[in-house]
C-alpha cells in the first residue's frame, strides 16, 4: 500500500503563485497607486470564479449530450446549475467591494491600463457562448471589439467554443424528445386552446364592463389583451410561431416550447419537478448575469461618468446595452405568458397522470 505523503496547506493551494500574482502597472512609473491592488485582486477573483463556472457548465454539457438523459443525471445537472447561481451571487456581492474605490482613486492608475478591458476576458466570453449566446446574437460593436482586442490564440479558443453545442441547444433538443403531451391519443393542445379561449373571453368581459376604467385605459387594456391572444395563437399555430422565430421574437423551437409549457403547467407532478427546476434555474442564471451586468454598468457610470472605457468602448452606455441583450434563456423567462390559471389547466388522462406520478401510498386506487 502506497504511503500518502503529507500535504502542506500553502503548497496545495499554490499560494506563492496566487499571492504574488499582483503587479500594479502604476508601480512602473512611480509609487504604486493604492487602489490598483484592490482592482487587480477583484478581477483575479472574478476570473477564478469564471473558471469554476466553466467547470460546472462543461460537465452539464457533457451530460446533456447523451441521446437519453436518465433521471439521476437530471438531478446532477440541476445541482451543478444551482451551484452556478450561488457563485453568481458572490460575483454580484463583489461589486460592493469594488464600489469602495472612488473616481479619483481609479484615475491614479486608469490610463496605465489602456487598452486592456473586460472585452478581453476570454473566460467570460466562453461562459456566454457555452450558455448559448453566439456571434449572431451579439451587437456588431461587440464582434468588432472581440476581433480586434483578443489575442489570436484566445480568438481561436473562443471560436472553438462558439462552434460547439451550447446548453441552450442541448436543452432544446432534450425538450423536443419529451413525449408526454402527445401520449395516449390525448389531444392536450386542443383542450389547452379551449381553456385559453375561455380565459381570454373572461378577461375581455372584465375589461369591457369595468366601470372604473376610462375609455383610453380600456382601449389600451384591450390592445394588450389582443397581443396576448396573438402570443397564445403563435404557440398553437406552428406557422405563426415560425414567423416569430424568423423575426427574432423567439429562439426556442416550436416543439421544444410546447414541451416547456407542458412542464410549467404540470410542474407539481413528480416526473416533471426536476425538468421544471432545471428550466427555472436556467432563468435564474440569466437573471443573475443580467443583474451583474447592470450593477457593473452603474458602477462604471459612478466612477467614469461619460468617459470611454479603457478598451475604447462607450463605457457605461455599452455596458447598459448588453444588460438586456446578452441573455441566453430569455424564452424561458417568457414562458409565463403562455400559462393559464390552475383551475383551467386540462385534466390529464389517468394513464398519463400515473406515468408522471409516484405512488407513495399503498392504498392508492
DSSP 50-115: HHHHHHHHHHHHHHHTSSS--HHHHHHHHHHHHHHHHHHHHHHHHHHHHTTS-HHHHHTTGGGGTT
- H or E segment at 59? helix 36-64
Q: How far apart are CA 299 and CA 148, in angstroms?
A: 25
**What span, in angstroms and rounded, lies between the C-alpha atoms of 117 and 102?**
18
**Residue length, the chain?**
365
Residue 272 and residue 258: Cα distance in Å, rounded? Answer: 14
CATH number listed for the domain at residues 32-181+251-336 = 1.20.58.480
Distance CA 27, CA 32 (A): 4
Residue 312 pLDDT: 45
Q: What is the pLDDT of residue 209?
A: 92
Which DSSP symbol is given to 99?
A: T
Classify the C-alpha dihedral 59-64-66-71 as positive or negative: positive
CB neighbours (10 Å) of residue 338? Answer: 20
* Distance from chain centroid for Cα 199: 31
The pLDDT assigned to 361 comes to 55
Predicted confidence at residue 313, as pLDDT, reads 47
Q: What is d(CA 161, CA 127) in angstroms, rounded to the nearest whole number? A: 9
Q: Do residues 66 and 73 make contact, with C-beta atoms less than 8 angstroms apart?
A: yes
**Cβ proximity of 312 and 118 under 8 Å:** no
196-199 long-range contacts, Cβ below 8 Å, gap at least 24?
196/232, 196/236, 196/340, 198/344, 199/340, 199/341, 199/344
Sequence ranges of the domains in the chain: 32-181+251-336
pLDDT for the residue 147: 67
Secondary structure E strands in the chain: none
Q: How far apart are CA 17 and CA 27, in angstroms?
A: 19
Each residue's pLDDT, cut to its tens digit, for the chain (365 residues) gives 788 899 999 999 999 999 999 999 999 999 999 999 999 999 999 999 999 999 999 999 999 999 999 989 999 999 999 999 999 999 999 999 999 999 999 999 999 998 887 778 999 999 999 999 988 877 666 666 666 778 899 999 999 999 999 999 999 999 999 887 666 567 889 999 999 999 999 999 999 999 999 999 999 999 999 999 999 999 999 999 999 999 989 999 999 999 999 999 999 999 999 999 999 999 999 999 999 999 988 888 888 776 554 444 445 566 666 666 789 999 999 999 999 999 999 999 888 888 888 766 555 55
Going from the C-alpha of 158 to that of each of 44, 124, 143, 298, the distances in angstroms are: 20, 10, 12, 28
What is the rounded (10 degree) CA torsion for 151, 329, 282, 46?
Answer: 30
pLDDT for the residue numbered 311: 47
CA distance 335 to 196: 14
For 26, residues 6+ apart whose C-beta sits below 8 A from its C-beta are 32, 33, 36, 108, 109, 112
Amino acid at each position: 500500500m502506497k504511503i500518502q505523503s503529507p500535504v502542506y496547506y500553502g503548497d496545495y493551494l499554490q499560494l506563492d503563485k496566487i499571492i504574488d500574482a499582483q503587479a500594479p502597472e502604476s508601480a512602473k512609473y512611480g509609487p504604486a497607486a493604492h487602489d490598483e491592488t484592490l482592482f487587480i485582486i477583484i478581477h483575479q477573483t472574478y476570473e477564478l470564479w469564471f473558471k469554476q463556472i466553466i467547470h460546472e457548465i462543461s460537465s452539464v454539457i457533457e451530460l446533456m449530450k447523451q441521446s437519453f438523459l436518465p433521471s439521476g443525471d437530471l438531478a446532477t445537472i440541476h445541482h451543478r446549475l444551482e451551484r452556478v447561481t450561488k457563485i453568481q451571487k458572490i460575483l454580484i456581492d463583489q461589486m460592493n467591494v469594488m464600489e469602495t474605490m472612488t473616481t479619483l482613486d481609479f484615475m491614479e492608475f486608469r490610463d496605465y491600463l489602456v487598452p486592456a478591458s473586460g472585452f478581453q476576458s476570454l473566460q467570460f466570453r466562453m461562459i456566454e457562448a457555452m450558455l448559448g449566446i453566439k456571434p449572431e446574437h451579439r451587437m456588431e460593436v461587440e464582434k468588432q471589439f472581440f476581433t480586434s482586442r483578443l489575442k489570436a490564440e484566445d480568438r481561436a479558443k473562443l471560436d472553438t467554443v462558439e462552434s460547439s453545442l451550447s446548453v441552450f441547444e442541448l436543452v432544446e433538443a432534450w425538450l423536443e424528445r419529451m413525449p408526454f403531451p402527445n401520449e395516449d391519443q390525448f389531444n392536450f393542445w386542443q383542450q389547452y386552446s379551449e381553456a385559453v379561449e375561455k380565459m381570454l373571453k373572461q378577461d375581455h368581459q372584465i375589461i369591457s364592463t369595468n366601470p372604473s376604467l376610462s375609455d383610453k385605459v380600456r382601449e389600451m387594456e384591450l390592445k394588450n389583451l389582443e397581443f396576448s391572444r396573438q402570443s397564445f395563437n403563435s404557440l398553437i399555430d406552428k406557422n405563426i410561431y415560425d414567423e416569430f422565430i424568423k423575426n427574432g421574437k423567439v429562439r426556442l423551437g416550436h416543439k421544444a416550447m410546447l414541451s416547456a409549457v407542458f412542464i410549467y403547467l404540470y410542474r407539481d407532478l413528480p416526473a416533471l419537478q426536476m425538468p421544471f427546476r432545471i428550466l427555472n434555474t436556467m432563468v435564474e442564471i440569466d437573471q443573475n448575469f443580467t443583474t451583474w451586468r447592470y450593477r457593473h454598468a452603474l458602477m462604471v457610470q459612478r466612477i467614469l461618468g461619460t468617459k470611454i472605457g479603457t478598451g475604447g468602448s462607450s463605457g457605461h452606455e455599452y455596458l447598459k446595452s448588453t444588460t438586456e441583450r446578452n441573455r441566453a434563456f430569455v424564452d424561458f423567462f417568457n414562458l409565463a405568458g403562455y400559462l393559464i390559471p390552475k383551475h383551467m389547466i386540462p385534466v390529464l388522462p389517468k394513464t398519463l397522470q400515473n406515468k408522471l406520478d409516484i405512488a407513495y401510498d399503498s392504498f392508492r386506487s
